[in-house]
């Protein structure tokens, strides 16, 4: 059922001109994002989970028809891997049914291969389930700026199953192709005695398929990255609190690694020093509200974290802890704020343990501005300024977590034990201004701490 929360949000939108709202906070709007294209029937390096980069592309530069296949290379986890297209698979070795005899492969190519790089033909023939021929033959080197025909002798050996493919770099060696190397291939023919034999499927790369993942509008997830691993763990769900859809985030196990569901308003880049990007904000929110479900097979919790920045310095902070509940639970929490932010970092993490599933809906700022619910959490810090230890006194019940942060948002100390507030050792921290954030059932509040 859609409760009165939707009416409350509507009134606040009118009063605060929607600038305070979280765009698509109800997760009603989703769009398809094309992760990559891959040639139909062929398998390609785009589909390999260890590649996590697109290395095969549809090219409009074709020798026949409209398209050709462009094989590239990419630096991945410290290695450079060459793109490939195959009729079949190298692991395990499987091919397509093909019973006609042939003695040569004809192909057209364009290339720009760096020194020591080559374009290879891969031929594996099987008969009655056994490999009877295995060839990996280099046939193109250096640059070739115009379409070049190549006839590659492969011998005449009978088969009932054929693996045929092209790859930049030899898969049987440790040589890594240069990331700037590329090759176009098109119009592949099998010949015997100079005569064309039946074509292999999609021999001229005219047919392509899209790999698509659905992304919530105005949000960033890691689904485009995880889709290469077959582990899309942030999806749309019809199990919503209001409207037609909500977002579902799962923590999953992939091999020996635990992969959490991540959601961010800004760009997600774990290769940078700031993995979650900032986005502009045009007003100063007072509260954050929403609805959530969380199920888990262990002791776990999800987290919504918001950092508010003004001219690059932290002026507000809130952390909402999502605990297990099988039905939608509402939250409507005070945000700790002491400035006028111009940007924010808003992130959601599904949980730490595999099997945890978080569903989130109706996420909004300033949904309830009544006096009794908008009181600031009462706590004091002493001494302040301080040099060795600080003591935090909290009179509000329902303590959840305390954090000490730098002005750039770095967490230098945290605890979920109220007893730890009696004596916090700050002697090893660099001197300067810090922020103490306290979260309770009511929300969060934040105060400055001066270390000298």
Q: Percent of the chain scored above 70 by pLDDT?
A: 91
Inform me whether the pLDDT recorded for 33 exceeds 60.
Answer: yes
- Per-residue pLDDT tens over the stretch 302-355: 999 999 999 999 999 999 999 999 999 999 888 888 889 999 999 999 999 999
DSSP annotation of 268 reads B
Q: What is the mean pLDDT of the chain?
A: 88
| Mean pLDDT along residues 35-41 | 93
Query: Residue 415 and residue 435: Cα distance in Å, rounded?
Result: 14
Torsion angle, CA of 101/104/106/110, rounded to 10 degrees?
A: 140
**pLDDT of amino acid 77:** 65
**pLDDT of amino acid 376:** 61
CATH, domain 37-208, list 3.40.120.10, 3.40.50.150, 3.40.50.720, 2.60.120.890: 2.60.120.890
Q: Do domains 5-29+217-365 and 37-208 have the same CATH topology?
A: yes
**pLDDT of amino acid 9:** 31
Neighbours of 292 (CB within 10 A): 24
Can you spell out the DSSP letters for 150-190?
EEEE------SEEEEEEEES-TTSSPPPPTT-EEEEEEEEE
So where are the chain's domains? 5-29+217-365, 37-208, 379-451
Tokens of 133: 């021929």
The torsion angles phi and psi of 11, rounded to 5 degrees, stand at -65, -40
- Per-residue pLDDT tens over the stretch 75-95: 876 677 889 999 999 889 999
Q: What is the CATH number of domain 379-451?
A: 2.60.40.10
CA 119 to chain centroid, in Å, comes to: 32
Confidence of residue 96 (pLDDT cuts 50, 70, 90): very high
- Per-residue pLDDT tens over the stretch 240-251: 999 999 999 999
Query: Residue 319 and residue 266: Cα distance in Å, rounded?
Result: 17
Cβ–Cβ under 8 Å, residues 146 and 164: no
Beta bridge partners, 234, equal: 249
The torsion angles phi and psi of 74, rounded to 5 degrees, stand at -150, 145
**pLDDT of amino acid 12:** 35
CATH class, domain 5-29+217-365, is: mainly beta
More confident residue, 375 or 302: 302
Query: Residue 452 and residue 388: Cα distance in Å, rounded?
Result: 9
Inform me whether the pLDDT recorded for 39 exceeds 60.
Answer: yes
Inform me whether the pLDDT recorded for 372 exceeds 90.
Answer: no
- Per-residue pLDDT tens over the stretch 254-303: 878 899 999 999 998 877 778 899 999 988 998 899 999 999 999 999 99
Interstrand relation of 424-425 and 302-310 (parallel, antiparallel or unpaired): unpaired
Query: Exposed (0-12), middle (13-18) or buried (19+): which is 162, by Cβ within 10 Å?
Result: buried
C-alpha angle 351/352/358, rounded to 5°? 15
pTM score, two decimals? Answer: 0.71
- Per-residue pLDDT tens over the stretch 193-235: 999 999 999 999 999 999 899 999 999 999 888 887 778 899 9
Interstrand relation of 96-97 and 161-168 (parallel, antiparallel or unpaired): antiparallel
Query: Residue 31 and residue 27: Cα distance in Å, rounded?
Result: 11
Confidence of residue 55 (pLDDT cuts 50, 70, 90): very high
| Mean pLDDT along residues 396-416 | 84
More confident residue, 48 or 432: 432
Strands (E), 208-342: 208-216, 220-221, 234-237, 246-250, 252-254, 257-259, 262-264, 279-280, 287-295, 302-310, 313-322, 325-334, 336-337
Query: Residue 219 and residue 359: Cα distance in Å, rounded?
Result: 15
More confident residue, 20 or 160: 160
**pLDDT of amino acid 91:** 85
Confidence of residue 1 (pLDDT cuts 50, 70, 90): very low
Query: Exposed (0-12), middle (13-18) or buried (19+): which is 172, by Cβ within 10 Å?
Result: exposed
Query: Residue 259 and residue 282: Cα distance in Å, rounded?
Result: 33
Angstrom CA distances, 436 to 312, 414, 445, 446, stand at 18, 10, 8, 5
């Amino acid at each position: 059922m859609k409760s009165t929360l939707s009416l409350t949000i509507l009134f606040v939108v009118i009063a605060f001109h929607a600038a305070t709202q979280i765009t698509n906070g109800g997760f009603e709007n989703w769009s398809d994002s094309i992760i990559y294209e891959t040639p139909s029937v062929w398998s390609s390096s785009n589909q390999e989970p260890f590649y996590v980069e697109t290395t095969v592309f549809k090219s409009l530069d074709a020798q026949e028809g409209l398209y050709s296949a462009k094989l590239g290379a990419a630096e991945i986890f410290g290695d450079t891997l060459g793109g490939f297209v195959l009729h079949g698979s190298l692991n395990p070795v499987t091919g397509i049914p093909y019973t006609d005899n042939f003695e040569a492969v004809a192909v057209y190519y364009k290339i720009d291969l760096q020194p020591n790089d080559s374009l290879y033909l891969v031929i594996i023939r099987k008969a009655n389930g056994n490999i009877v021929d295995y060839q990996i033959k280099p046939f193109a080197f250096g640059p070739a700026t115009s379409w070049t025909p190549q006839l590659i002798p492969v011998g005449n050996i009978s088969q009932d199953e054929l693996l045929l493919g092209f790859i930049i770099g030899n898969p049987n060696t440790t040589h890594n192709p240069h990331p700037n190397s590329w090759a176009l291939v098109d119009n592949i023919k099998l010949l015997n005695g100079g005569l064309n034999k039946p074509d292999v499927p999609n021999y001229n790369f005219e047919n392509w398929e899209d790999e698509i993942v659905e992304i919530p509008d105005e949000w960033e997830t890691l689904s485009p990255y995880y889709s290469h691993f077959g582990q899309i763990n942030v999806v749309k769900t019809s199990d919503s609190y209001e409207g037609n859809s909500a977002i579902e985030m799962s923590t999953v196990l992939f091999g020996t690694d635990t992969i959490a569901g991540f959601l961010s308003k800004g760009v997600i880049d774990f290769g940078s020093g700031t993995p979650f990007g900032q986005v502009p904000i045009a007003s100063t929110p007072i509260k954050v509200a929403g609805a959530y479900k969380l199920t888990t097979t262990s002791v776990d919790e999800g987290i919504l974290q918001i950092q508010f920045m003004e001219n690059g310095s932290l002026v507000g902070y809130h952390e909402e802890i999502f605990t297990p509940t099988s039905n939608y639970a509402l939250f409507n929490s005070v945000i700790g704020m002491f400035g006028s932010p111009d940007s924010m970092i808003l992130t959601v993490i599904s949980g730490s343990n595999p099997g945890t599933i978080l569903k989130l809906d109706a996420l909004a700022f300033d949904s309830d501005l009544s006096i009794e619910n908008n009181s600031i959490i009462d706590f004091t810090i002493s001494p302040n300024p301080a040099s060795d230890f600080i003591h935090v006194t909290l009179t509000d019940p329902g303590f959840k977590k305390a954090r000490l942060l730098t002005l750039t948002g770095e967490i230098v100390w945290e605890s979920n034990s109220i007893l730890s507030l009696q004596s916090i050792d700050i002697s090893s921290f660099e001197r300067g201004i810090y922020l103490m954030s306290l979260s309770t059932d009511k929300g969060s509040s934040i105060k400055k701490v001066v270390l000298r």
